Amino acid sequence: MTKSSQAPRNGGHRVLRILGLVALIPVMILSLLFAATPFSQIARGVLFGVVFWDGSDTEHIRVFPANEVHAAASASELPLNEDGTALKAFGGLELGQYIMDQPMQQSLIVSSEDDLDHFLADSESTAFLIVRDGVLVHEWYAKDIDPEALHNTFSVSKSILSTTVGMAIDDGHISSIEDPITDYLPELLEKDPRFGDITLRHLITMTSGIAYDEEDLSPYSDEVNTYFGTDLRRSAINNSIIMGEPGVTWLYNNYNPQLLGMIIERSTGMTISEYVSESWWGPMGAEADASWSVDSFYNRFEQSAHGFNARPRDLARFGLMFANDGMVSGKQVIPREWVKEATTATNVSIGRNDFLEQNYNYFWWVLPDGRYSAQGHHGQYVFISPDDNTVIVRTGRAESTDWPRLLSELSGRIAAEADSGK
């Protein structure tokens, strides 16, 4: 075979090789985007925040790296005694009135265990637990859910963070809830001296006067910055802008918990996850390690507004601890005074929300009757009725149901059922 006869074949091979390399480019780019490197976190922020932003999703627990929150060597007692409490509470209740996404064409009344299972599945619930007097009287999980899996709690994380602030004050790391935030974040004074008027109380009640647009979902909006940002410390400092006087206007604002997270870090000399583990998650007797999603492999700052992940049973333990004024197995874990202060209705009212007149205090949603809850996006709830020692945990993938009103109704029915049986 002559050289001239070989040339076309070699040329064809070169073309194929070039086409193959071109085809590999997007594969290589995607590999870089999702590789476990610091660069990948920047790429992730660009990819999700700029190109695909469509709000938070329960599957994002798989996207973000996380810091561990360690449990104790042994779990606190949470005995299981399924006694039909949930079915009794739901029985005869017209559920159609609580469905938000579309009007019900026919009545929806729970009359059997199958009806209850269908309702929970249709509402895209993933777990539903009821604790009464320290006993787990009902425990339900969706068919595809492992009871031992961690669930993203979204803004329930804020109540976790609030509890941690209370512990930092009790341990002497933070002097007072009335401290100016610039005592811990002095760089904010260089940005705007008015930050010196903002206290920790203003942050934890969402009355800081810092601007935040929850409705804007553009690629570089506050929501995208606080959710997909890869350097949340820098974001909290750079993007926090004063729009009004602190203590005057309530505005739901994810920069507030991010700034509080930085204050916990600086005051304790520990990561948020380390301090949570040491100060109360372990002493509470959690049955399993939790985790806290972080902004990036490189920065590893906890997503203070939304990133806490835990088993539903441990969320029930968390709620039960608050229902018992901060006590677990006869030991005071959270200061009683902090529990009361954090969950008492104040004049920080947000008006009517989900058909209930709710207050907001210390990252807790508080009802006038003394019941309160930690709430998160897509319908994550730790609902607490302290007077009757009832805790209800609901996790899910969507919030098509008016859960605050429904859980309030259920806790009342559970208490009435218990009273009738005495």
pLDDT tens per residue, range 143-185: 999 999 999 999 999 999 999 999 999 999 999 999 999 999 9
pLDDT in tens, 177-219: 999 999 999 999 999 999 999 999 999 999 999 999 988 777 7
Q: What is the pLDDT of residue 2?
A: 41
The C-alpha atoms of residue 3 and residue 127 are separated, in whole angstroms, by 72
The C-alpha atoms of residue 80 and residue 126 are separated, in whole angstroms, by 19
The domain ranges of the chain are: 3-61, 62-422
Residue 183's Cβ-count burial label (10 Å; 0-12, 13-18, 19+) is: middle
The C-alpha atoms of residue 32 and residue 18 are separated, in whole angstroms, by 21
Q: What is the pLDDT of residue 391?
A: 98
pLDDT in tens, 210-250: 999 988 777 778 988 899 888 999 999 999 999 999 999 89
Mean pLDDT of the chain: 87
CA 59-68-179 angle, to 5 degrees, is: 100
Asked if 199 and 246 count as a contact pair (C-beta separation under 8 A), the reply is yes
The phi-psi region of residue 92 (left if phi > 0; otherwise alpha if psi is between -120 and 50; otherwise beta) is: left
Closest CA to 264 of 309, 216, 200: 200
SS3 204: helix
pTM of the model: 0.88
Asked if 280 and 333 count as a contact pair (C-beta separation under 8 A), the reply is yes
Which pair of structure tokens corresponds to residue 31? 């590999």
Q: What is the pLDDT of residue 8?
A: 46
Characterize 321-343 residue by residue with b for buried, 16 or more Cβ atoms within 10 angstroms of its Cβ, and e for exposed. Answer: bbbbbbbbeeeebbbeebbeebb
The C-alpha atoms of residue 96 and residue 106 are separated, in whole angstroms, by 8
Least confident of 67-71, 110-114, 142-146, 280-284: 110-114
pLDDT in tens, 25-68: 665 555 445 444 444 444 555 455 545 555 677 778 888 899 99
Task: Tell me what the mean pLDDT of segment 305-310 comes to.
Answer: 97
Q: What is the pLDDT of residue 6?
A: 44
In which residue are the tokens 């008016």 written?
402
27 vs 295: which has the higher pLDDT: 295
The C-alpha atoms of residue 128 and residue 118 are separated, in whole angstroms, by 13
92 vs 178: which has the higher pLDDT: 178
Q: Which CATH number fits domain 62-422: 3.40.710.10, 3.30.420.40, 3.20.20.70, 3.90.950.10?
A: 3.40.710.10
- For 398, residues 6+ apart whose C-beta sits below 8 A from its C-beta are 123, 124, 378, 379
Q: What is the pLDDT of residue 225?
A: 87
Least confident of 107-111, 351-355, 386-390: 351-355
